[in-house]
Structure 1
Amino acid sequence: MITKFKQQYPSGVLVIFLLQMFTMIGFAINQSVLVLYVLKTFHMTEQHAYSLFGAYMSLAFGASVLGGYIASIAGYRLTLLASLLLAAAGLFSLAIPGLLAFYFGLSAFVVATATSLPTIFVLLGRLYMDHDERRDSGFTIAYIGMNVGAFVAIFAAGYIEKYLNYAAAFIIGGLFMLISFVLFYLQKENFKVSDHIRQTTKKPKRKKLLALLMGLIALPSTGFLLTHSTLSNILLIVIGFASGIFILFHAFKSHGIIRAKLLVFWILTVISIIFWALYMLAPSALNIFVDRNVDKHLLGWAIPTITVQSLNPFFIVTVGPLLSILWIKLSQRNLEVSTPAKFAIGTLLMGAGYLVLLPGISLASATGIVAFGWIILSYFLQTCGELLLGPVGYAMVGTLVPVPLLGIMMGIWQLATGVAGALSDYLAELTISPSASQLPIVTDSTFAKAFAEFGLISIAVGVIAALIAPKLTRIMNAD
């Protein structure tokens, strides 16, 4: 089977698959336990925990623009090796008791994620020629590896925390980062660039020193922003707002179809920010709701709170292939679903994922405990929305943006996820009960009000997106 795989795909694709799987184990463990860890270990307030999580997610994704730039100067192979070691050090540091070790570890992990995330995809792209028909399938394999790793990590993390402790979860994540380092070090020759690319991308020593300096500054800067998480979230939102103005400036400076396509890009970026801001509530506010207000028994088996989050990658791995088959069948019948339509349907599904929790809360037990089936249904709907909206983003940028602006607009598209992470903090805070009580019978009403607002906002955006989708599609398909 492995021999057949090597014949069908370039040497190195299997390495990327394993790298995505192993590195995602570390990232998913950190993401899934972070809010509960700071609440139960450092006794942070919910507001502080949500603010910190928002800053963590926004910096990890938003700073990847800078991380990709550093990698382009220092070299992608060297950068990936360094980032994997830094990620391992960060996770090991998180296992050490105390706030100083915690903030150092989280800062190191954010910087490592921001550099490794774009670097792995660049290295994967180098394995293919520009018009290689296998390129899309190679990226799909990497996406599958990432979600297999996420499912294994999140599913196991709950039991590791339950039977061992949080420190053990962080250490296991760090060990997988070291495994990733060894794997890539042994296979790095598969990712050598051609002589032509080496000559055209060779950087002078002063630029490499600049990359090193930027990397050294990134660590304390990230630490400062994490310890001032509210400031960090405000900063990311302001940068996001400025980026939106930047897109509109270039749109109205342009003419004809270029202007129209840039406006479509702006609209789809705004929709994606709303979608991902609601999506990122799963490891924070939704996680707290599951922990305190949900009966987590399935077929007589008690499921740890953290493990519940593994429903997302589980549905991605199981439902994703079915959706891929559906798209192929529809395309063969000339019924292909356009990118704007996928954005609209995905956003509607996200809204439905929150609204479906309302009957669950209304049917709660006398003590306010909600049946687990409603959470499963919510995750299923949200994940189906992700499968519609998530995979098409980067391809959409190349379709809508003129070549001279492609680099900066790709960076803004990545930054949009960071902005969503910052916004998720403010959304999560809407679920905090004004009462000091954590009893489900008291907090159910607060969660219900917030979930209703999240669902209705998402549904409203989805309906508007559906109404304008035909026009946006015509613009996208125009020459």
Structure 2
Amino acid sequence: MSIAFSRQPSAFKLMCIIIMPAMLSMYGLVAIVTVFMVNDLGMSESDAFLINGAASAFSTIIYAIGGYLADKVIGVKRSLIIGNLGIVVTLLLLSYAASIGSIPLAMIGIAGGGVSRALANNCPSNLISKAYNKDDNRIDSAFTLYYMMINIGSCVSLIITPIIAHKYNYAAGFSIAALWNVLTIVIYLAKRNWVKEIGSPADFEKINFRTYGLLLLGLTALTLAGSWLITHYELMQVLLVIALGVAFTFFINYMRKESKAQQKKMIVSLVLLGFSVIFFILYKQMPTSLTFFAIHNTRHEFLGIPFDPVSTQALNPFWIIILSPLLAIFYEKTSANGKGASLPLKFAVGMIFCSLAFLCLSYGAYFMADAEGRVSAFWLILTHLFQGLGELLISALGISVLAQLVPNHMIGFTLGFRTLTLGISAVIAANLAVYIAVPKSAGAVDSLQTLPVYASYFLKVGIGAFVMALLMLFTAKKLDSLIQDREQEEETVAETAN
């Protein structure tokens, strides 16, 4: 792993360093926000699931705006700083809302966090994309290693933040999440010369105070509007579909201006983004159905060691950390030997693993539960292992797909477009999870009643993922041929020019 890491450019190394505290913050919020809404704010599970999905949908709409601002208005590097400052402010507001039990302030904090992350979160991957040539064989291993660093931060946060929230309170958990973003800003400012030569055109232009003032007013207005929208799930879903349609139209218009050779690769990127939607529907089960299955139907000890059921979300990044360096080395060796699997084939294999994740959990729920309706944590461990393998083959390579298949001048916009597809996934996942939400009541949850509901749900999800995996396998060869045709055309053009 150290060899693969050392061969990367300085920009990549800096982004890997700052992404860890950023993810400690982000996944600290992810770990506790849904449970916080149920336990502290008194919401039902179904309302909490839907608000969580609506908040994800809202933030993904704003991500497209964030990508545009980074590329065309304020620059990627300024977006990184301003976005992280906004995250600090909104997390502290969320902490205060938790301390007084205010639902309106909590919604402002959640929405404001989404707006700020729209500016900040795509910036590291954007800068990494600009640090490599399209034909650089280090790029798959680079994004795999980068994904590992993301998951180191998320793993630690998903373990410690629920413990802090339960031992002290949710306000403390949100405050500590804010401090991690402060560290992100400090590290970046200290080492910003590592990325001084790369960025969007806007990074190398001066920005006046009027632009900053308009930006602040816009972010504030978006935050207030978002705090209302995320509590109106149906409207938020309609707006997301409209935003996705607009972004898709822009993407097609951009594509038409490219050469025929480039258009083929962009078509492949669209198809693979569509496949990614299915993966993220499965991934978004982590803070909803998987977490609440851990709470209601999993024994809260493993090998005699007790654990917080909310912290089982850390199993996913744990496996990512273990598997990422192995895959990064494998990618480099197979690429060097000319035996690397195509991107479409990697996506298909990843979906097979995702299918196995839910099928094995369904098996455990159906056949391995005890008399109290609870199963061993082993089944969650196995589920997250398969899910982690699928994530590395689909999500970790998702940005790599864009870096390789989309022109450099479209990277920022396309990252925002990709994030909109994640919003669709979050909305669908939230609506699916509502079917297994436990109705709000004053009494304790009966594990024997929830067990068959979860077992049936996971079985259906697993079968659906398997059907999609078959479709991806059938189309992999055709998609790869489009990529190869494009590369052959580029070589022909280059030879003609010489």
Secondary structure at the aligned position of 1:51 is classed as helix
In 2, distance between residues paired with 1:445 and 1:6?
A: 46
**What does the per-residue CA deviation read over 1:9-63, in whole Å, with 9 as the maximum and x for residues that have no partner?**
6556554333211111110010011111101111111111111111222333442
Within the candidate set 213, 220, 233, 1:216 is matched to 220
Residue 439 of structure 1 deviates from its aligned partner by 1.1
1:397 matched to 2:397: no
Hey, what does 1:158 align to over in structure 2? 162
Within the candidate set 370, 373, 383, 1:368 is matched to 373
In 1, distance between residues paired with 2:199 and 2:390?
A: 43
Q: Which residues in structure 2 correspond to 1:460-471 (within 5 Å)?
A: 460-471=467-478
User: Larger deviation: 363-372 or 158-167?
Assistant: 158-167
**What does the per-residue CA deviation read over 1:247-270, in whole Å, with 9 as the maximum and x for residues that have no partner?**
679889999766655543333222
**What does the per-residue CA deviation read over 1:410-438, in whole Å, with 9 as the maximum and x for residues that have no partner?**
43223211221122111211223579673
Paired residues of 1:345 and 1:385 also in contact (CA < 8 A): yes
Q: CA 1:200 to 1:166, structure 2 compared with 1: closer, same or farther past 3 Å?
A: closer
In 1, distance between residues paired with 2:80 and 2:276?
A: 28
In 1, distance between residues paired with 2:252 and 2:193?
A: 43
Hey, what does 2:348 align to over in structure 1? 344
Code of the aligned partner of 1:462 = A
Paired residues of 1:277 and 1:424 also in contact (CA < 8 A): yes
User: Larger deviation: 240-249 or 372-381?
Assistant: 240-249
In 1, distance between residues paired with 2:132 and 2:19?
A: 18
Paired residues of 1:158 and 1:305 also in contact (CA < 8 A): no
Within the candidate set 302, 320, 335, 1:316 is matched to 320
Q: TM-score, normalised by structure 1?
A: 0.88
Paired residues of 1:90 and 1:105 also in contact (CA < 8 A): yes
Hey, what does 1:143 align to over in structure 2? 147
User: Larger deviation: 433-442 or 409-418?
Assistant: 433-442
Paired residues of 1:21 and 1:145 also in contact (CA < 8 A): yes
In 1, distance between residues paired with 2:169 and 2:418?
A: 37
Residue 240 of structure 1 deviates from its aligned partner by 3.1
Percent identity for Structure 1 against Structure 2: 25
1:355 matched to 2:359: yes
Paired residues of 2:19 and 2:149 also in contact (CA < 8 A): yes
**What does the per-residue CA deviation read over 1:234-257, in whole Å, with 9 as the maximum and x for residues that have no partner?**
321343356557767988999976
Within the candidate set 424, 429, 433, 2:429 is matched to 424
Paired residues of 2:24 and 2:154 also in contact (CA < 8 A): yes
Paired residues of 2:67 and 2:416 also in contact (CA < 8 A): no
In 2, distance between residues paired with 1:342 and 1:40?
A: 40
In 1, distance between residues paired with 2:194 and 2:411?
A: 28
Hey, what does 2:453 align to over in structure 1? 446
In 2, distance between residues paired with 1:448 and 1:194?
A: 50
Q: CA 1:90 to 1:130, structure 2 compared with 1: closer, same or farther past 3 Å?
A: same
Paired residues of 2:127 and 2:199 also in contact (CA < 8 A): no
Q: Comparing both chains, which one has the higher relative contact order based on Cα–Cα distances under 8 Å and sequence gaps of 6 or more?
A: 2
1:42 matched to 2:41: yes
In 1, distance between residues paired with 2:227 and 2:379?
A: 38
Code of the aligned partner of 1:59 = F
In 1, distance between residues paired with 2:200 and 2:174?
A: 42
In 2, distance between residues paired with 1:235 and 1:196?
A: 29
Paired residues of 2:139 and 2:400 also in contact (CA < 8 A): no
User: Larger deviation: 374-383 or 405-414?
Assistant: 405-414
Paired residues of 1:244 and 1:266 also in contact (CA < 8 A): no
Code of the aligned partner of 1:115 = L
Hey, what does 1:29 align to over in structure 2? 28
Equivalent pairs counted in the alignment come to: 477
Secondary structure at the aligned position of 2:230 is classed as helix
Code of the aligned partner of 1:155 = I
Q: CA 1:131 to 1:204, structure 2 compared with 1: closer, same or farther past 3 Å?
A: farther
Q: TM-score, normalised by structure 2?
A: 0.84
Q: What is the Cα-based RMSD across aligned positions, in Å? A: 3.4
In 1, distance between residues paired with 2:176 and 2:408?
A: 43
Hey, what does 2:241 align to over in structure 1? 237
Secondary structure at the aligned position of 2:370 is classed as coil
1:272 matched to 2:276: yes
In 1, distance between residues paired with 2:400 and 2:407?
A: 13
Secondary structure at the aligned position of 1:295 is classed as coil
Hey, what does 2:86 align to over in structure 1? 86
Paired residues of 2:54 and 2:231 also in contact (CA < 8 A): no
